[in-house]
Each structure stands twice: as structure tokens, then as C-alpha cells.
Amino acid sequence: MTTKNSPAARTPATRPSGSPERPLGRDHPRWGWWVAWWRADRGSVAAEVTLAAPFLVMLLVFVAVVIHRGVDARLRVDDAAHQAARAASIERTSATANAAAQSTATNALSSAGVTCASLSVDTATGGMRPGGTVSVTVSCAVDFGDALILGVPGQKRLSATAVEPVDTWRSVSGNASGGGA
């Protein structure tokens, strides 16, 4: 039994005129120059990868360090906002709450190793009434220029807000011993 594509079935009626007797494979004479050129480059990919791999690894490490610094700074600013809100919520007056939030945020960021080009701490005390809330927003412009030897240009402004409740059962004015109601 002969199939349509078998050599025995090929007759001038089924094969287009001018087509070669054998298909254009890799060993066909028309492909000779291409095959010779391709075979001359065999093994060069391994050498190219060997030369390029260290640079690609260094680029990957560079990107990972920059991303890590950004994520770490974001977490540190968020933590500083929470610490500042807690410090402000245990104060008795709005003025001392603002001062406590400012100093706590500054100390938290400096002890965490985050250097801010500009730092702002905004405190909303709501009158420091029992059962109320204290909201603190910490904004820090982090400079990534010292991230690596190569330096990364620009700054990124990171901001975090934390809210803490004011104790419901404490007195606003307090007494001389610092006790509550």
C-alpha cells in the first residue's frame, strides 16, 4: 500500500513541477552555507554565558539590595508611627502628646538606622478625652543614594499612620502622684 507522500506515490501528476526530488532538509545543497556557518559557532553559547553570568548575578544582587532597603525603610517608618501613637496616647495633654510623638518617632527611626532627609510627625489628639483616639502620621523622605557604591538617585517619601485609643478609665488632669481616677 502506498501513501500519498511516499516516494513511490510521487508521480509528475502529484508532484509540483520544478520541486526537488528530495525535501529541503539540513543536508540539502541549498543550505550548505548556512550549515557551515552554524557549525562554526558551535559551543560559543557556553563561553558567552560564562562571561555574562557574573554581570547578571551582580545586577540581580544590586536590585535585591535596593528593594530590600526600600521595604525595610517602609517597615521602620510604620513601626515608628505605631510607637509614636502609643507614646502620645499615654500623655495627659495635647502639647505633651505632640512632643512625645515627635521624640518617639525620631528616636525610633534613628535607632533603626533609617536616615530621613526630612521628617514630619503630625499628631491629631482630639482633645485627649478618655475613650478618644490619637492619630500619628510619620512621613520620612528616604535617600537611596547611599544604598550601594554605585548609588541610586532620588528620594522616596514614605508615610505611615497609626491610631491608638486613649484610656477610657483615666482622668484627664491626673493628680500629683500620676495616678488615675
Q: What pLDDT shows up at residue 129?
A: 84
Q: What is the pLDDT of residues 88-142, one digit of tens each?
A: 999 888 999 999 999 999 999 999 988 888 999 999 998 788 888 999 999 999 8
Indicate the pTM of the whole model. Answer: 0.64
Within a 10 A sphere around the Cβ of 34, how many other Cβ atoms? 10
Domains and their CATH numbers in the chain: 44-165 (3.30.1300)
Percentages helix, strand, coil for the chain (3-state, rounded to 5) are 45, 15, 40
Is 81:112 a contact under the CB 8 Å cutoff? no
Band of residue 180 on the pLDDT scale cut at 50, 70, 90: very low
Strand order in the sheet with 116-124: 116-124, 133-143, 155-165
